[in-house]
Structure 1
């Protein structure tokens, strides 16, 4: 080790957790995280609750790993949010937390980049729920179909307040 290595050595990259095994079907949105399902209109953020960014649902998470809710191509990836252009044509936004953009990446590890091919159940983000909470933010995970106004319908298929496991079907998109 060179004398200055201890000052410049970077942390080793975090290894992504294993993918979920999902037999993904077109037009189905899978829960990006285990937790309790809520309607989009109940998300404590007006941008989501008024469905400005699309129809969908959200989950109050039990875990800290956020998985791809559909297969497709990553259109954008930030520390707290990933957008996927799904194979079926739905534009899927997964957003972790309310106002967590203010954390500027702190408490998040992202496993994908813009342009990556992802499959439903592949890890996208790991969140540190303690960091989010201690900063005064909520960790609600939003699943929005951002082009829902171009689609025939986006329907919540999981029951309101139902507890689901990551990878369970929660939305049906009709093209």
Structure 2
């Protein structure tokens, strides 16, 4: 056990990152970062997402407060407010993980990042936590959106699950095939 492990167990209020969820290590698969109900991208109540300006993908109405990496790859961008990450997958897909709509208004309150720009991540690894109750108190939608921002670089980007179904974190949502 390292010093940081010991400190995280003894410091008041210290929290360790949650355990990873089981996830296939398929470079063409983009996985659910949270457990919840799938929402078609065009039904996400944010024009930047619903009009596809930020890529092809979908939303999930989260049931929990931890987001897991939807792919294995490298975090190529993070934001100061900790509500979004851009991860370049092993097959070159640029995957945007965005928690909440207008959540930037929280200025990072209620978010905890477990990774940052430059970190390697594995599919199913916890990457952030978020306070759904705080979002609700502030009148914000806690939908988690996952998109492929460079879909034109692939022969096929397909959403492989239906809207309005329940998915578990780590289950396949999208396929990116060259």
How many Å apart are 1:174 and its aligned residue?
1.6
How many Å apart are 1:17 and its aligned residue?
0.2
Are the aligned partners of 1:61 and 1:139 in contact in 2 as well (CA < 8 Å)? yes
1:28-81 Cα offsets, whole Å, 9 max, x none, are 110000000111111110000011110011100111110000000001123101
> What secondary structure does 1:136 align onto?
coil
Q: Aligned equivalents of 1:14 and 1:114: distance in 2?
A: 21
Are the aligned partners of 2:31 and 2:70 in contact in 1 as well (CA < 8 Å)? yes
* TM-score, normalisation: structure 2: 0.89
Match of 1:132 among 126, 130, 135: 135
Q: Superposition pairs for residues 13-162 of structure 1, below 5 Å?
A: 13-78=14-79, 79-162=82-165
Residue 167 of structure 1 pairs with residue 134 of structure 2 = no
Instruction: Extract unaligned runs of 5+ from structure 1.
Output: 1-9
* TM-score, normalisation: structure 1: 0.91
Larger radius of gyration, structure 1 or 2?
1
Q: Aligned equivalents of 1:156 and 1:23: distance in 2?
A: 17
**Residue equivalent to 2:8:** none
Runs of 4 or more, structure 1, over 2 Å off, are: 10-14
The alignment yields a C-alpha RMSD, in angstroms, of 1.3
Q: Aligned equivalents of 1:12 and 1:74: distance in 2?
A: 27
